Amino acid sequence: MSIYRDKPTGRWRFDFDRWIGGTRVRRRQLLPAGWTRAEADAFDRKEGAALYAIAQGIARPRHTIGQAVDLYVKERVPQLKAGENNERELEATRDWWEDQSLDDLATVCAEYAADQAGALKPATIKNRIAYLRAACRWAWKRHGLGDQDPGGRVVAPEVKNARSTTITRLEMVKLARACRHRGVRALIRIAFYTGMRVAEIQRARRAGASFVLDDSKNGEPRIIPMLPIITSASRIQMPRRSEIDYYWPLARSACKLQHVRLHDIRHSTATEMVNAGVDLATVGAVLGHKSSASTKRYAHHGTQLMAGALGKVGKRA
């Protein structure tokens, strides 16, 4: 028998390791939660027979998710800007897909989402599933692994992306004044008046009355106007990450705004623009969004404008 109880998870694990016709055949799979011993044994018999048939040339070889991921990591990941992060995220899900059939990708992703619900944020689960689906689709398209798109039936958990944590201009000024590091103080102001990410501010070139990003997150050059109010701040050397990590929490604590992340300042910029009546397309252009879906997450902040409009209903001209 190739079935045993996996102690860390309490689930049945299928571990097939045989020499067939001079070739070692091995496959390991963590079976779904809630399966009985009878169900696990039935899977063992069916899967074992299928592996024997493949090894003896009776059935076609079955491609695995592991093969697809290995090809993706070897050939595609080095070409990606965030390749190292992609590889780390794929590795974090290895226990769920190692040696599993490429045809079972949808089931594997569903099991991963169910297992990690509550342990990880929905956005993290969704992103990891997206990386795994991308790897399998790439191997399918480039190397012909599988007979059909393995990601076609994959369903990722729903994520509520509406941005709710924002600060006002007065709160931004309060945070900047409370910060004891000149560079971090300047970075806070620049973030609020440009909507740039921290990493973008650190590497942006100053060119006249603009910030220039030669290589933005979406892969395209971006120019951000520099308002006069941050001209002085733009001349200050930007802080290192270690300096930000030390002085930013101190400023938050001093202002009793511990719940605010530095990245929330970028969301605050978007909210200020939306509430001032700026259309979402322009907001997206300022923030450097490649997809309009990213900007729509801020649409709920336009309620102030809607309230003003509704307030005019029934009033005499």
In this structure, what are the phi and psi dihedrals at residue 312, rounded to the nearest 5 degrees? -85, -10
Alpha-carbon distance values, 149 to 65, 106, 139, 140 (Å): 13, 11, 10, 7
Instruction: Identify whether the C-beta of residue 299 lies closer than 8 Å to the C-beta of residue 274.
Output: yes
Encode pLDDT of 184-197 as tens digits.
Answer: 999 999 999 988 88
Encode pLDDT of 34-62 as tens digits.
Answer: 889 898 888 888 888 877 776 777 655 67
**Calpha distance 12→3 (Å, rounded):** 7
Q: Residue 125's domain spans which residues?
A: 63-160
For residues 10 and 47, membership in a common domain is answered with yes
Q: What is the pLDDT of residue 310?
A: 44
For residues 78 and 210, membership in a common domain is answered with no
For residue 236, is it within any domain? yes
- Choose the final residue of a domain: 160, 194, 213: 160
**pLDDT over 70 for what percent of the chain?**
85
For residue 315, is it within any domain? no
> Which residue in the block uniquely carries the two structure tokens 């599988």?
146
At residue 147, does pLDDT exceed 50?
Answer: yes
For residues 9 and 139, membership in a common domain is answered with no
**Calpha distance 96→28 (Å, rounded):** 10
For residue 57, is it within any domain? yes
If one compares 62 and 138, the residue with the highest pLDDT of the two is: 138
Q: What is the pLDDT of residue 132?
A: 94
Assigned token pair, 255: 């202002």
* Nearest Cα residue to 229 out of 169, 139, 311, 166: 169
User: Bridge partners of 14?
Assistant: 3, 29
Assigned token pair, 169: 């201009």
**Calpha distance 62→39 (Å, rounded):** 22
In this structure, what are the phi and psi dihedrals at residue 79, rounded to the nearest 5 degrees? -90, -10
For residues 128 and 248, membership in a common domain is answered with no
Q: How many separate domains does the chain show?
A: 3
Instruction: Identify whether the C-beta of residue 235 lies closer than 8 Å to the C-beta of residue 228.
Output: no
Least confident of 90-94, 96-100, 149-153, 155-159: 155-159
- Choose the final residue of a domain: 160, 184, 215: 160
Residue 267, domain CATH: 1.10.443.10
For residues 56 and 69, membership in a common domain is answered with no
* pTM for this prediction: 0.52
Q: What is the pLDDT of residue 172?
A: 94
For residues 39 and 87, membership in a common domain is answered with no
- Choose the final residue of a domain: 132, 160, 188: 160
For residues 195 and 289, membership in a common domain is answered with yes
For residues 76 and 2, membership in a common domain is answered with no
Residues 74-83 have a mean pLDDT of: 88
Mean pLDDT taken over the chain: 83
For residue 146, is it within any domain? yes
**Calpha distance 301→274 (Å, rounded):** 7
Q: What is the pLDDT of residue 208?
A: 85
For residue 278, is it within any domain? yes
**Calpha distance 239→183 (Å, rounded):** 5
At residue 280, does pLDDT exceed 90?
Answer: no
For residue 26, is it within any domain? yes
Assigned token pair, 232: 């002085």
